[in-house]
Amino acid sequence: MNERLKSMPMKADDIIAMITAALPDARVELTDLAGDDNHFQANIYSESFAGKSRVEQHKMVYAALGDKMGGVLHALSIKTFQTK
């Protein structure tokens, strides 16, 4: 793969779509921290987090993002919140 294409940042809408595909009840608030479409803060609210530790909740989000995490998506701060 072309190095330039591999290093292109993920679009915010794609990040939200991947998370909500894995956690359909999730509400995702995504903030571009640096204005560069490359450094994001995600607040994720979901009933799916009920009874799970913070680490387990974050692992659920990482699983939703698959191989994008640490690749094209390398600067994502995650905060998870259990909803009722």
CA 1 to chain centre: 24
pLDDT at 69: 84
pLDDT at 2: 43
CB crowding 45-81: b at 16 or more within 10 Å, else e: bbebbeeeeeeebbebbeebbeebbeebbeebebebe
pTM: 0.85
Q: Where are the beta strands (DSSP E) in the chain?
A: 27-32, 40-46, 76-82
Domains of the chain are 3-82 (3.30.300.90)
Burial of 40 (0-12, 13-18, 19+ CB in 10 A): buried
pLDDT at 58: 96
d(CA 20, CA 68): 15
pLDDT at 5: 45
Per-residue pLDDT of the chain (84 residues; tens, 9 = 90+): 444 445 567 889 999 999 999 999 999 999 999 888 788 999 999 999 999 999 999 999 999 999 888 778 878 999 999 998
